[in-house]
Structure 1
């Protein structure tokens, strides 16, 4: 766990920064996720794209869990929307607001962050690095820690934290079941590809064809 001191401090810096300078949150998150990728991928060598590609041929152990997880994330997103609809004020007051200008460069950078860097960074830190399988009690405790740490980057109040925990559950559960970080990361990537990709294309089309 010693190697996690730096990421924990890194997250604390992010949380403090988004509280003090919320209008600059997008830049803080971008640097945060890039920092996690650099730390876990380039320094600690915790991910192999060659091993990821080797999983592509395994339909039963890879693509089926990925597909089920993406479907679960879509359901979780729908549940999140229902919670937001019924508790909008409480939700709005409890989340970190990430303002993004409706211009080409910021939208593309946001797309890059959400679709590629974020799934990669969160998978390496909140799931692979934090969740250990030494014992059942330890795994349960670390899973709760993982979910909470992931949620508090995006929200500082109970309603907001709850919604982000819900969104993180599918990719966390599939990692607990398969113990395969590549399944979790790929499912997260595909969900964001659909969700963020669609929103980005729609926003760009609205800007340039109105």
Structure 2
């Protein structure tokens, strides 16, 4: 039985070049675009990634939906990943409380109209799980060796954090969020487990935000 061919550095960069370029442009937009428009550039970032991954066939939505019928083991893995995601989010909230003077540098997504609320819902609940897990986990983490796993996982977590925050403290906290997602993918080698857990987390977290906004507007 022949050994699996290792991914060359050139192939790795080629695979991720366009998504990384899209992220670089997005980060630059966060520095120069007025804050009131960042909700649209954020949505555009995810939309461009989605289109690219669908065209490149790195993302297969039908396979993801079929994975829901994988059985008990699949959903136990999803649950454990989700719980890890929740625990790390709680940990970062505690750290924020311990160091309130540290700047988080998170990107502000204003929801002050029905249009921006719809854009917020799509770009924070539905798109991130698909695009972020395909990009930062499936495409970026290599299993060629233990060293490759460690280095590419760290790099993927860093890029994931840079997409969410523009300060060193916020980057550190967001890398903590990424840890259970990365570990779950490394352990299961099943991107759909991580994708589903991530989606559930966004649905509960950002979905609650949307509901709270609607209640405030309608009260």
**Unpaired runs of 5+ in structure 2?**
1-11
Of the three residues 167, 171, 176, the one matched with 2:181 is 171
Equivalent residue, structure 1, for 2:46:
33
1:106 Cα deviation from its structure 2 partner: 1.1
- Does the residue aligned with 1:153 lie in a helix, a strand or coil? helix
Equivalent residue, structure 1, for 2:97:
85
Equivalent residue, structure 1, for 2:18:
6
Equivalent residue, structure 1, for 2:82:
70
- Alpha-carbon contact 2:111-2:120 (below 8 Å) kept: no
- 1:157-185 Cα shifts (integer Å, max 9, x gaps): 22101111111111111111111111111
1:22 Cα deviation from its structure 2 partner: 4.9
- Alpha-carbon contact 1:62-1:183 (below 8 Å) kept: yes
- Alpha-carbon contact 2:109-2:120 (below 8 Å) kept: no
- In structure 2, C-alpha distance between the alignment counterparts of 1:97 and 1:82, rounded to whole Å: 20
1:56 Cα deviation from its structure 2 partner: 2.0
- In structure 1, C-alpha distance between the alignment counterparts of 2:157 and 2:34, rounded to whole Å: 22
Query: Superposition RMSD on alpha carbons, in Å?
Result: 1.5
- Does the residue aligned with 2:142 lie in a helix, a strand or coil? coil
Deviating runs (4+, > 6 A) in structure 1? none
- 1:123-143 Cα shifts (integer Å, max 9, x gaps): 111111111111111111000
- In structure 2, C-alpha distance between the alignment counterparts of 1:85 and 1:104, rounded to whole Å: 32
- In structure 2, C-alpha distance between the alignment counterparts of 1:144 and 1:181, rounded to whole Å: 17
Give the alignment of 1:76-155 within 5 angstroms.
Answer: 76-92=88-104, 95-155=105-165
Q: Number of residue pairs matched?
A: 206
Matched, 1:56 2:68: yes
- Does the residue aligned with 2:102 lie in a helix, a strand or coil? helix
Give the alignment of 1:16-31 within 5 angstroms.
Answer: 16-23=28-35, 24-31=37-44
1:89 Cα deviation from its structure 2 partner: 2.8
